[in-house]
Amino acid sequence: MWMILLTCCCLYWLSCASSWYPVNSMFGEQIDLVAATNGSFIPNWTRSTENDETKDTFDVFDTNDRFNSTQIPFNSIDRDREPLDDVEHIEPRQWPVRPDILYTRTAISSTTEVSLPRYPLHPPTLAQRNSSTQRYPPVTIPPPTASVDEVFCDFGSFPTQTLCEWQSGDGALDWMAGTGLGTNWMGGPASDYTSGTMEGGYAFLETSQLPQKDVKAKSLGGLLHSPQLGSTGVAGTCVMFKYSMDGLSVAGLRILLHVGVDEYSVKKEQAEEITPENVTIPSCKSVEIFDERVIWNAQYYTLNVWQQTQMLYTYPELHTLIIEGIPVDSADPARLYRGYIAIDDIDLQPGTLCVGFCNFAGGFCDWTNDAEDDFDWTISRGSGNPTTGPAMDSSTDRSTAGGYAYIDSSFPRRPGDRARLISTNFPASSADTPILDASLREVWSLNASVGNTGMGDIAIDDISFMHGSCPVLPQVAAPALRDCTFEVDECDWINSRDPDRVEWERVSFQLLSPRNQRKLYSNGYTINRRNEYFLGLGRPRGGPRSSGGGTAQLVSREMKAIDEPLCVTFWYFMFESFIDSTGPSLGVLRVSVQVIEESSMGIRPIWQLYNNQGPTWNYAQISINERRDFNVIFEGTWGPNRASGSIGIDDISFYTGNCSVKPIGASARPEDCSFEKDLCGWENITSSENERTVTWQRAFLAHRPAQLLDKTFGATGNFVFFDIFTTNKQSTDVELRSPTIQTSPDEESVCFTFWFAAFGVEESTMLQIIKINADEELGNGRGQVGKQDRQPLWSLTAKGFNNPRPVWTAAQVTIDSRVPYRLILRGSASNGGFAIDDIKFQPQTCSTRPAAAQLANNGS
């Protein structure tokens, strides 16, 4: 008796331990299909509730049912009838081996949801029982899977924009179909990707909305569900789409793979009801099954720009894809600011269309072994040697794990043997959106000893590509230590200090507030954050955190001269938590190039930004064209910084290509000047005929007009000015000349911008901008030219700008830059003057400002 009880308990435990239950008969068995009202087998699927909570459960038969609850499902026989009168033998080909397996996200209760085959079940019968007297468990038929045409969506156009077969799911925010014409004012982008017009459609999520407190949502953001999808096959599925994000309230975008039936992907009109007969499900304890996994995250993207991406994935069973847009936390102050996440042109195609992508589940994809190497890469599902190689591929799910490519280092391999795997040809990419460095050189390498002990393998998996620049990872794999993520150390960069002992320091992201930790290329809401450290500008030793002043330089090792341009990319953070009435005061971040052969005075700035640039990390890039050996220098300088702020850099990367300047306002030239340290190559050429020595001067604390503060930082100095007073009321002229400004083949004009402040007698005080061609300069020892060779571009008197307390006013004018030239700032006054600050040359055209300074014929 004890043995029987023990056996029953074991069988019961085994039935509960299983995550699925067979509802079909075994091959060759008989099934009781009696007393039906018609000749077809009509299942009836319902949903039950338990404890007022909606769950996918089976009804449990009561003990008064005429069928014993211990009968085997779909294998019961009515003992009151003759065996051959009412049943028919079911052939093996008419019944599936086992049902499909469905998983639920929440814990499975004492019953389990089971799906039947996609094709209807119509076994022949001699007699059938009246099903109206029966109680049956709820079962859901897997919906039909979508075709490629049903999944594709460009979201239409105004006024017929649509989500196609995609549906907004159980998220706190809703995905909506929109256009720039109809929904840009609601927070969406101004145009779509497909047509680039305001009439084109897209799907978007407005991220500043706050969910209602009493609403329980599956996600804090928005979930966009695909139609139901079947197995991808061994080649996988290539997912292609475009996305755009903008705003402070945006946190990220990712794609989830949902396992099994998705209630938001099933059309209600497609639902069928069937009533399986004689089904008994044992009562088991709950089993926790998770049915969603992250398969893609948006990384290295630029705000407010449509970007195209693609990804390859494989899954062998029923599933759906969910696009999840993630806003910042509702407690974050940035959540109040408008932002959007938008999607366009979603398309699913065979995995072979993801060029270069490979997960090695079904072979080498479009990669091939080099015929001229020493041996070949091979495919494996798991190492045959317990002391070497991975046990499975890089997948975290053993049930869907595929293969990987590897090389065996054991005999007869010898040290120095090479196995080369060659990709297919890639389409050309632009300099601003690179995929691979076009030059033939080593870009990534890890070394391993082979052929001696046979104790190691080298394996690779999940090759993928994306547009944009990224640093080499892991750090030790970089062939030249110029890329750096600062996760381990400062790589091969040299940290130099100024006399104030300010230096760049490796800083943990945990020291920043959550609002400032967000990086556009982070992996979203994942457990392990890859980006943990950055390089921050330290404070002067011994001084308070809010004290200003001090410069630190991060200098690269010597870089060899190259024939092709070199693009340097990085991410920067410049944030002031508080700005007072005098204006921003954080400091400056500058990238410069120093030619090795020249002295430290030959440092040439190529990129720079001043003061507050917002609470998030931003992407930057600049092209270097240098035919001599050089160093790259990242220089940070604190301004007065009247409030606490931060300056940081991270993820420095280099690639061959002539990229544009990002952000466009960060372009820098040697002739740009904010007069922080000197005149930046500008020089006084005031005529010596003046009776008194009157020139342009740099301001400092005890020598500045009308207690004027500088425009850059609101400090007590660091700008240039002239202040003239003559007793005979005759005007005196002063001139400040720029260095020679070289031309660029792709620039026909530049915009010259600066800030000015006027003071003194209005009518007699004047400022002019004059252009002279460099090749027309006549030398008289001071490089002066005749009046006939001067071209006035901009002229303004102090009338209307003179105030008891002078204020800074913006000015600009377009300059023809097809030939080398110089500029002259010419001032004249008998009682008064002008101050100038923040001179900058930008590669674009602009209208003349202020309008009163415009010449009738633009100086010609």
CA triple 228-229-232, angle to 5 deg: 170
Neighbouring-strand partners of residue 656: 566
Q: pLDDT digit string (tens) for 309-355? A: 999 999 988 999 999 999 988 888 888 888 999 999 999 999 989 98
Tell me how far apart the alpha carbons of residues 735 and 751 are, in angstroms, rounded to a whole number: 21
Angle of CA points 218, 219, 224, to nearest 5°: 95
Distance CA 407, CA 460 (A): 9
User: How far is Cα 469 from Cα 490, in angstroms, rounded to an integer?
Assistant: 19
Burial of 780 (0-12, 13-18, 19+ CB in 10 A): exposed
* Residue 734 pLDDT class (50, 70, 90 cuts): very high
pLDDT at 672: 93
Q: Could you give the C-alpha distances from 393 to 359, 396, 455, in angstroms and in order?
A: 9, 8, 19
Which of the residue ranges 145-154, 223-232, 360-369, 636-645 has the most confident prediction, judged by mean pLDDT?
A: 223-232
| Sequence-separated (6 or more) residues with CB below 8 Å from residue 465 | 355, 356, 357, 426, 435, 436
Distance, in Å, from the CA atom of 369 to the CA atom of 377, rounded to the nearest integer, reads: 7
Which residues, in sequence order, are bridge partners of residue 591?
607, 634
- What distance in Å separates the CA atoms of residue 46 and residue 276, rounded to the nearest whole number? 11
Q: What distance in Å separates the CA atoms of residue 43 and residue 140, rounded to the nearest whole number?
A: 10
What is the model's pLDDT at position 30? 34
Query: In which element (H, E) is residue 17 found?
Result: helix 2-17
Two structure tokens written together for 328 = 């910042």
What is the mean predicted confidence (pLDDT) over 99-106? 35
Judged against a pLDDT cut of 60, whether residue 501 lies above it is answered with: yes
pLDDT in tens, 566-597: 999 999 999 988 888 778 889 999 999 999 87
Q: How far is CA 696 from the centre of its chain?
A: 48
Residue 20 clears pLDDT 50, i.e. is over it: no
Is the model's pLDDT at 650 over the cut of 70?
Answer: yes
CA torsion angle 687 690 692 696 (round to 10): -30
Helix (H) or strand (E) holding 308: strand 307-313
Identify the residue whose tokens are 């077969």: 165
State phi, psi for 109 to the nearest 5 degrees.
-80, -160
Band of the pLDDT at 857, cuts 50, 70, 90? low
Give phi and psi for 474, each to the nearest 5.
-65, 165
Residue that is written with structure tokens 């190689």 in the block = 389
Half-sphere exposure of 324 (CA within 13 A, CB side): 28
pLDDT at position 395: 75
Q: Write out the H or E segment, with its range, that includes residue 212.
A: none
Between strands 171-173 and 219-225, the pairing is parallel
Kindly state the average pLDDT of the residues 457-485. Answer: 81
Please tell me the predicted confidence (pLDDT) of residue 412: 82
Max CA separation in the chain (angstroms): 135
Q: What percent of the chain has pLDDT over 90?
A: 27
The Cα-based distances of 851 to 359, 538, 791, 810, 847 in angstroms read 62, 43, 19, 11, 9
Residue 180 has pLDDT above 60, yes or no: yes
Mind listing the pLDDT tens digit for each residue in 482-491?
Answer: 889 888 888 8
**Cα angle for residues 99, 102, 106 (degrees, 5° grid):** 150
User: Which range has the worst mean pLDDT, 182-191, 419-428, 537-546?
Assistant: 537-546
Q: What are the structure tokens assigned to 200, written together?
A: 């084109």
Out of 231-235, 412-416, 499-503, least confident range: 499-503
Q: Which two tokens stand for residue 46?
A: 């319902």
Token pair in block for residue 74: 């779909």
Over range 556-573, report the average pLDDT. Answer: 90
pLDDT digits (tens, 9 = 90+) for 382-412: 877 776 778 888 877 666 678 898 888 777 8
Query: What pLDDT score does 148 carry?
Result: 75
Q: What is the mean pLDDT of residues 151-176?
A: 92
Task: State yes or no: pLDDT of 166 exceeds 90.
Answer: yes
**What pLDDT is stored for residue 253 in this prediction?**
92
Helices (H) and strands (E) in the chain, counts: 5, 38
In 3D space, the residue among 292, 290, 261, 286 whose CA is nearest the CA of residue 108 turns out to be 286
Residue 121 CA, distance from chain mean position:
49
Q: How confident is the model at residue 675 (pLDDT cuts 50, 70, 90)?
A: very high
Q: How far apart are the C-alpha atoms of 228 and 143, rounded to whole Å? A: 7
Helix (H, G, I), strand (E, B) or coil at 11: helix
Average pLDDT for the chain: 75
What the block records as the tokens of 248 is 């402070």
Question: Residue 709 is encoded by which pair of tokens?
Answer: 């503060």
Most confident range, picked from 133-137, 429-433, 762-766: 762-766
Under 8 Å between Cβ of 623 and 567: yes
Ranges of H-type helices in 157-214: 180-183
Structure confidence at residue 14 as a pLDDT band (50, 70, 90): very low
Buried b (16+ CB within 10 A) or exposed e, 626-636: beeebbbbbbb
Residue 735 tokens, joined = 């001139």
How far apart (Å, rounded) are the C-alpha atoms in residues 731 and 715?
Answer: 31
Q: How far apart are CA 744 and CA 106, in angstroms?
A: 63
**pLDDT bucket at 77, cuts 50 / 70 / 90:** very low
In the chain, what percentage of residues exceed pLDDT 70? Answer: 70
Residue 79 three-state SS = coil
Minimum mean pLDDT among 100-104, 311-315, 404-408, 821-825: which range?
Answer: 100-104
How many angstroms separate the CA atoms of 295 and 284, rounded?
32
Report pLDDT digits (tens) over 276-309: 444 444 433 333 344 788 888 887 677 788 988 9
Is the pLDDT assigned to residue 272 strictly greater than 90? no
Q: For 386-410, give one letter per residue: b (16+ CB within 10 A) or e.
A: eebbeebbebeeeebbbbbbbbbbe
Maximum average pLDDT range among 156-160, 216-220, 606-610: 606-610
The pLDDT of 211-224, averaged and rounded, is 83
In the prediction, which pLDDT does 48 show? 39
Q: Is the pLDDT of residue 695 over 80?
A: yes
Answer whether 50's CB lies under 8 Å from 108's CB. no
Going edge to edge, which strands form the sheet with 791-797?
683-684, 732-737, 821-829, 766-773, 791-797
Q: What is the pLDDT of residue 330?
A: 85
* pLDDT given at position 447: 61
Report CA-CA distances (Å) from 232 to 37, 260, 405.
Answer: 40, 13, 20
Q: Is 98 exposed, middle or buried (0-12, 13-18, 19+ CB in 10 A)?
A: exposed
If you count them, how many residues does the chain have? 860
Q: Does the structure show a pLDDT above 50 at 268?
A: no
